[in-house]
Structure 1
Amino acid sequence: MTISHLRLGASLYVPATRPDLAAVANGERYPGLKSVILCTEDSIKPSQVEAALGNLRECLPQIATEHPLVFIRPRNAEVLGRILEMTGVGRIDGFVLPKVTRDSLASYAAMVPERFLMMPTVETKEAFDPAAIADLRAAMSEPAIMKRILAVRIGGNDLLNLLGIRRRPRRTIYDTAAGPVVASLVAAFRPFGFPLTAPVFDDFGDAETLNEEVVRDVEHGLVGKTAIHPSQVSRIERHYRVYDADLAMARRVLDGDAPAVFQVDGVMCEPATHSEWARSIVERSEVYGVEGKETFLDRLPVVL
């Protein structure tokens, strides 16, 4: 069965040192979780790597047949190799590849068996170099690699770190110098068939700004976002629900008998240019459901 990136939802990042790793991976600790990423990279110290790997070794055989999408983020190629040798690794869905460049992608892809999905993370200085990103995209576009890439993840905190900044309180990532970089990555990958997921929002106590950021994520075509706290999951995923007015409009756009141009409540609809949006709306409705009477225009933040 083909897995859509839309099933990722808010991917909860979990340090692999957690004692309840199997309960999280099986969806017992946080019911309703759509995807989880067990991390052996930045979320743990170098001195904790062996403990994390020992924890994973115990966790993997306990992963149930029915579970959220489960991915592991290896620290590097050496750690990836050790994980691939663990009993039960075949129970997970794939790997989040850290700090991917053209060269490291080739190395990782050669190591990861074809049955696993991959999510490369763009979070190195190459993200600021359009030529390097074009090279990376070309490497990802190799058919044997592209068919295994579920989504490209954007490592927002690493990008901010490279700029020597971090977001101030009540600021979305789009209000920082990394905002244009996110937009450039969407432009570099999305038209070529690569879905992207949105960066983490650090302040899990600020629900209002998180809501604003997710609205802007969706504006950028990013459905799926890194979550670092369970309280963020439902707050993120509520914005992936579609309004019934948008769904009705999308279905009219996709109707084979639709005219070339028509209007719905004063809004122009043109199947030749709105069909990708319409397909995304229909698919999101099937995963996240429908609500309200408004349209996507009503979700946009007011700029004074």
Structure 2
Amino acid sequence: MNTHALALGATLYMPCTRTDLAERLFGPARIHDLRSVVLCLEDAVLERDLPEALMNLGGLLRFADAREGGPSDPMVFVRPRDATMMARILRMPGAGRLAGYVLPKANAETLPCYLGLHVPEGQMLMPTLETREACDPYDMRRLRDQLLAVQDRILVLRIGGNDLMQSMGLRRPPGRTSYDGPLGAVIAMLVATFSPWGFQLSAPVMERFGDAALLRRELVRDIDHGLLTKTAIHPDQIPIIQGALSVPAHEVEEARAILDPNGPAVFAQDGVMCEPATHRVWAERLLARADVFGVVDGLSIHRRA
């Protein structure tokens, strides 16, 4: 599994209209335990506010370029409005310090415009699946074929849950996870379309940020679908998301037994059949997740050495 994708953790979206970006990302008021952030110039910014938003982004990039980076600095991505705006950002002083770009409204028709831009080596792309085409398996297979040609540049595919619901004329009801309505079937289809070909996907945002219990319920379903990063829209969601991604100690023990080169072809552990030939990838991903988010024994979380 791409460990850089795992390292995203809870990816916080912040509009570029904010004037405190440097303070919240790198200064004394920095957001605790923030691993990755997307600075948005698209849906979160009104057309009339674009000049101010681009000015704020330019100031942040100059600030980041002038400082010494630290090990706890978050990965910073930018979500432009379109390929033309992305080309403008690529020319900004300090843009080389970005971790990459989120590509909005990605589908087989829009992707070539982004792929035609010269993105510096090392900067990654995160296409967002949020148009009505994301509900069509045929269109997603077309997109997958395009992405396979540049797979080394794709960090994760982000699932835009609210936009997909909007395309259906729906909104998530109170108390319901993303999986409790038609969006659940779309998420399952996207996982089946992209994951077997080696792409990682990011779980959609929980916009009801005041309902921590609902977020925890949804995270269980995210993990069941192999979605091991998630969009956040409020700092309070970050510890909940990243805490949920820690791994139970008994699962770590099971994974290690599956990966034991001297183990049997099939064995039972705690009433569960374990078969290394079919469970190896699961075990490798689980241990990679434990390396990033720690192991929980029911009372505490500790990092693996």
Aligned length: 291
Query: How far did residue 51 of structure 1 move?
Result: 0.8
1:70 aligns with 2:76: yes
2:173 to 168, 171, 189: 168
Runs of 4+ in 1 over 4 A off after TM superposition: none
Matched residue, 1:228: 233
Structure 2 Cα separation of the partners of residues 119 and 242 of structure 1: 25
1:271 aligns with 2:276: yes
Query: How far did residue 114 of structure 1 move?
Result: 3.9
1:203 aligns with 2:208: yes
Alignment of 1:31-110 (within 5 A): 31-63=32-64, 64=67, 65-66=69-70, 67-110=73-116
CA contact (8 A) 1:260 1:272 kept: yes
- Counterpart amino acid of residue 24 in structure 1: R
Query: How far did residue 216 of structure 1 move?
Result: 0.4
Q: Residues 198 and 112 from structure 1, CA distance in 2 versus in 1: closer, same or farther, beyond 3 angstroms?
A: farther
Structure 1 residues 106-125: Cα deviation after superposition (integer angstroms, max 9, x where no partner): 21022141421000001111
Structure 2 Cα separation of the partners of residues 220 and 208 of structure 1: 19
Structure 2 Cα separation of the partners of residues 127 and 24 of structure 1: 33
CA contact (8 A) 2:40 2:80 kept: yes
Matched residue, 1:154: 159
1:286 aligns with 2:287: no
1:215 to 217, 220, 227: 220
- Counterpart amino acid of residue 44 in structure 2: S
- Counterpart amino acid of residue 218 in structure 1: I
Q: Residues 170 and 15 from structure 1, CA distance in 2 versus in 1: closer, same or farther, beyond 3 angstroms?
A: same
Matched residue, 1:300: none
CA contact (8 A) 2:102 2:125 kept: yes
Q: Residue 179 of structure 2: SS of its match in structure 1?
A: helix
Structure 2 Cα separation of the partners of residues 170 and 112 of structure 1: 44
Structure 2 Cα separation of the partners of residues 129 and 167 of structure 1: 20
Deviates more, 1:44-53 or 1:104-113: 104-113
Structure 1 Cα separation of the partners of residues 12 and 135 of structure 2: 27
Query: How far did residue 133 of structure 1 move?
Result: 0.5
- Counterpart amino acid of residue 254 in structure 1: L
Matched residue, 1:7: 7
Q: TM-score, normalised by structure 1?
A: 0.93
Structure 1 residues 1-21: Cα deviation after superposition (integer angstroms, max 9, x where no partner): x86200000000000111111
Structure 2 Cα separation of the partners of residues 26 and 138 of structure 1: 38
Q: Residue 110 of structure 2: SS of its match in structure 1?
A: helix
Matched residue, 1:119: 126
Q: Residue 174 of structure 1: SS of its match in structure 2?
A: coil
Structure 2 Cα separation of the partners of residues 128 and 61 of structure 1: 40
Structure 2 residue ranges without an equivalent (≥5): 300-305
Query: How far did residue 140 of structure 1 move?
Result: 0.1
Structure 2 Cα separation of the partners of residues 293 and 264 of structure 1: 19
CA contact (8 A) 1:114 1:148 kept: no
Structure 1 Cα separation of the partners of residues 297 and 43 of structure 2: 39
Query: How far did residue 293 of structure 1 move?
Result: 5.3
Matched residue, 1:299: none
CA contact (8 A) 1:94 1:117 kept: yes
Matched residue, 2:302: none
Structure 2 Cα separation of the partners of residues 271 and 23 of structure 1: 48
Structure 2 Cα separation of the partners of residues 50 and 78 of structure 1: 15
Structure 1 residues 79-120: Cα deviation after superposition (integer angstroms, max 9, x where no partner): 111111110000110000000012321210221414210000
CA contact (8 A) 1:245 1:293 kept: no
Structure 1 residue ranges without an equivalent (≥5): 295-304
Q: TM-score, normalised by structure 2?
A: 0.93
Identity %: 46
